[in-house]
Structure 1
Amino acid sequence: MRFLICLAALVSGALASPAAAQTRETPYWATIRDSATVLNMRVGPSKDYKIAWVYRRPGLPVKVVRVLEGWRLIEDPHGDQGWVSAPLLSPARGIIVTGEEPAAIRASGANDADIRWRAAPGVVAKLERCEEGWCQIDVDGRRGWVRQGQLWGSGEP
């Protein structure tokens, strides 16, 4: 009997998880999963819809603006919107460097901190944390701080 109760609890918990994921408040940030070598953005929430764009950048940040069953309406850093399959997205936070000039990546979150390197516009990184207008990022194991205003994906979605 105890086994049946445990089994029923496990099954109901497993079935409730996808439903719980559907109730996440939008908008929110996500990234393209590292395992997704190709992500097709479609004009509608089904594989029956035409592919509007193909992404080949794991870790690219996206804004999820709508949830519909196993599909997410996303907005990319250029403002383009379309539907993607939910399992191809990760809840991990990421950023992309914006602007016309390379961003100074500093040793700490201060204007007078040593510059470790510069990241060109378009560089994708993991977002570790933000505080007081500065964000700590990780670019393939190289960590540093950059002004939050030079990043897409770091603020409120």
Structure 2
Amino acid sequence: MTKIRFLFRLSLLSILIGATSCLLASTAMAEEYVSVVKDGVNIRSGPDTTKEILWTVFKGFPLQVTDQQGNWSKVVDYEGDTGWIASSLLAKEKTLIVKVETANLRVGAGIDYELVASAKHGVVFKPLETEGDWVKVKHADGTTGWVASRLLWPN
């Protein structure tokens, strides 16, 4: 009886460890943010070049990887649209995209600071640093400023 109880506990422990590992692996994968490496990259309906092109993205476009299948990554964008992209077209560099109609860039981290510029929906930035709920960003044209993180994706 004791040997059976021990084996039962050992099996239960193995199941719990396995389930926890799977949960942690899926959580880590669900939070992997990447960016597209070049302009004109297709997002497809499935993990194959013969699958339908759903939309096309540009260099620096941020995506969240939710799954992988072979050399393909299943991704979601800032509007919640999902599709598949060849993994070789993704970089680990995180970028941010404006998810509201207009976001103001400021000299400092707060609404009391002077405006530097405004950015429209869909403009992409490279994050430089954070301070509280603010992110200092840099645009490809060299413009830098602070933006409230709630106006950007991912935040």
Aligning the two structures, in what range does the TM-score lie when normalised by the shorter sequence? 0.7 to 0.9
TM-score w.r.t. length of structure 1: 0.74
- Give me the identity figure in percent: 28
Q: 1:52 aligns with which of 51, 54, 62?
A: 54
Q: Specify the alignment match of 1:85 in structure 2.
A: 86
Q: 2:29 aligns with which of 17, 22, 26?
A: 26
Deviations along 1:42-69, one digit per CA (max 9) or x if unpaired, are 11112232222222x2111111111222
Instruction: Give the ranges of 4+ consecutive aligned residues of structure 1 lying more than 4 Å apart after TM superposition.
Output: none
Q: Specify the alignment match of 1:69 in structure 2.
A: 70
Higher helix share: 2
Distance in 2, matches of 1:40 and 1:95, equals: 19
CA RMSD of aligned residues (A): 1.7
Q: Counterparts in 2 of 1:133-144, with a 5 A limit?
A: 133-140=133-140, 141-144=142-145
Unpaired runs of at least 5, structure 1: 1-22
TM-score w.r.t. length of structure 2: 0.75
Q: Specify the alignment match of 1:41 in structure 2.
A: 43
Larger Rg: 2
Amino acid at match of 1:124: V
Distance in 1, matches of 2:116 and 2:36, equals: 27
